[in-house]
A = this chain, B = another copy of it.
Amino acid sequence: MTTDGDKEVSEGTAVRRGRRGGGREAKRARAAAGSAREPWITRSLPYFEVVNEEGLALIEANADTILEEIGIDFRDDAEALEMWRDAGAAIDGERVRFPRGLCRKLVQDTAPREFMQYARNPANNVMIGGDRTVMVPAYGPPFVRDMDKGRRYATLEDFENFVKLTYMSKSLHHSGGTLCEPTDVPVTKRHLDMVYAHMRYSDKPFMGSVTAPSRAEDTVAMSKLLFGDDFHDPATGVERTVVINLINANSPMVFDETMLGAAKVYARNNQACIISPFILAGAMSPVTVAGTAAQILAEALAGMAFTQLVRPGAPVVFGTFASSVSMQSGAPTFGSPEPALVMYIAAALARRIGVPFRSGGGLCASKLPDAQAAYEAANTLQSAALAGVNFMLHTAGWLEGGLVMGYEKFMLDADQASMVATLLRGVDLSENGQALDAIREVGPGNHYLGCAHTQANFQDAFWRSSQADSNSFEQWESEGAMDAATRANRSWKAQLASYEAPAMDPAVDEALIDYIKGRKASMSDAEH
């Protein structure tokens, strides 16, 4: 499937054993592809810490108290309870209580600090964890919105469109998962079409189905067809991680059989699980930041430890999605300060465990790609960037609390994602960065536009937005006085019009299509 399997082998081995990676792999991946695009962001900017070591230790102690005293429900999964009993936890019905430190030890003993998710194009492999950030589009919306047709149920065509737009985006490193729900395909079957679309219309890494263990099995089976011999590391025979999967906790403090079942399938196959407490604070967690953070840590530790019971060493990510609810209306709110503080703390807690962290993205409650949407999205994106999110789900497209995938919002958010890449590069303190010679050359009262240092650096000097209009009022007016959404509307249409699918071996494509046909033939269309 790939042109330089040997190189991949050595990389994959090094990463899994030595818990190292980063710039070196990035450079190799770029060299392999002959492309200047960065396959992920490598951060030089420090992390922003909102509480000190003592505060983090307090929250960790509280999480241990939750795990020990209150416990976590593992529902409708006798096998999971058995595994926990064997590991030394106390079982009371479906409630599992954990000796202090047990979950942390299970995770730290075997979970990788960082791991490579392979793509069918090795230039698009992503390292997840450490000082890296991988930008991923929004996940889960049943609706889409664009300026032409408004808000409507999403279809498979919409899904494919967002795969294509993500494939073409320079700032999004990952194809994501449920970019929107293709509601024109029965629930029982749509996962097959979604996984196929990621495989066929993109060559970036993607996410698998988690809505039933059998759908997780389908995802793994199709991945084996796609990657062929490359699914296993030829040197070790170990499965490569080619798919990453969103396992939500049913907060507060419950994992249900669907999510446990999917997690087991993926972990057993060495595929990555993101264990994500899904929190609307005030409803599913306390109304305070520190209380919410402790509960999130307890849930994430229990879920991550469970994956290590299933298969020690399986890649796992500490995830969190935290919003707060309006205590007046009950509606979830976004871009507000409390969830940002929760995210900063959770990122720091993940670093202390030594696992990758997922959160963030362009979250908003707004129905339209308007100023509200942008304030809220920017607030979340800034926090996620400074917090140190490694896998930034929901980076682009999110509207209306996640109910809607917006075409225009997608383009605007993806532009902001490219801004984050520059921000995270941090400050260049080299001699060229200090630019003292430029200041000497120019001197008081003159300008820098023509000086030697500016000439040498201007092309990469400043981040350039592809969506913002910074021209004069007069020029902007003469070009139609468009607002940002209108420009984004033109932009996604132009992108889709110029889309070209990445090449795929026809035999592989045929095998995938045959598999889907066979599976669909065995299923009813009943919605469940």
Interface size on A, residues (CB 8 A): 128
Residue interface bits A426-452, CB-to-B below 8 A is 1, else 0: 111100111110111011111111000
Partner of A436 from the list B281, B294, B368, B369 (CB cut-off 8 Å) is B294
Partner of A463 from the list B59, B337, B422, B465 (CB cut-off 8 Å) is B337
In the bound complex, do residue A462 and residue B333 qualify as a contact, i.e. CB atoms below 8 Å apart?
yes
In the bound complex, do residue B449 and residue A370 qualify as a contact, i.e. CB atoms below 8 Å apart?
no
**Most chain B CB neighbours (cut-off 10 Å) among A376, A409, A439:** A439
A423 in the interface, Cβ–Cβ < 8 Å?
yes
A42 in the interface, Cβ–Cβ < 8 Å?
no
Residues of B within 8 A of A432 (CB): 288
A366–B483 alpha-carbon span in the complex (Å): 8
In the bound complex, do residue B290 and residue A485 qualify as a contact, i.e. CB atoms below 8 Å apart?
no
Residue interface bits A230-255, CB-to-B below 8 A is 1, else 0: 00000000000000000000101110
> Contacts A429-B55, A483-B370: A453 and B286 contacting too (C-beta < 8 A)?
yes
Chain A, 45-100, CB within 8 A of any chain B CB = 45-46, 48-52, 55, 58-59, 62, 65-66, 69-73, 95
**Most chain B CB neighbours (cut-off 10 Å) among A327, A446, A481:** A327
Partner of A465 from the list B291, B336, B367, B467 (CB cut-off 8 Å) is B336
> Contacts A331-B470, A378-B375, A470-B333: A444 and B287 contacting too (C-beta < 8 A)?
no
In the bound complex, do residue A439 and residue B295 qualify as a contact, i.e. CB atoms below 8 Å apart?
yes
A423–B339 alpha-carbon span in the complex (Å): 10
A288–B433 alpha-carbon span in the complex (Å): 6
> Contacts A252-B442, A291-B435, A439-B294: A379 and B376 contacting too (C-beta < 8 A)?
no
Residues of B within 8 A of A289 (CB): 427-428, 433
In the bound complex, do residue B443 and residue A253 qualify as a contact, i.e. CB atoms below 8 Å apart?
yes
A214 in the interface, Cβ–Cβ < 8 Å?
no
A263 in the interface, Cβ–Cβ < 8 Å?
no
A329 in the interface, Cβ–Cβ < 8 Å?
yes
Residues of B within 8 A of A329 (CB): 470-471
In the bound complex, do residue A327 and residue B469 qualify as a contact, i.e. CB atoms below 8 Å apart?
no
Nearest Cβ in chain B — how far from A398, in angstroms? 13
Residues of B within 8 A of A151 (CB): 473
Which residue on chain B has the smallest CB distance to residue A422? B337
A336–B421 alpha-carbon span in the complex (Å): 11
Residues of B within 8 A of A468 (CB): 333, 335, 365-366, 372, 375-376
Residues of B within 8 A of A58 (CB): 429, 434
A48–B366 alpha-carbon span in the complex (Å): 29
**Most chain B CB neighbours (cut-off 10 Å) among A365, A366, A461, A470:** A470
A selection of 14 A-B contacts at a CB cut-off of 8 Å is: A48-B386, A69-B440, A70-B444, A281-B462, A286-B435, A287-B438, A295-B439, A325-B462, A331-B472, A337-B423, A341-B427, A370-B484, A372-B484, A378-B378
Known A-B contacts: A58-B429, A335-B419. Give 9 more (CB < 8 A).
Answer: A59-B434, A287-B453, A292-B435, A336-B422, A336-B465, A345-B427, A371-B412, A375-B412, A379-B382
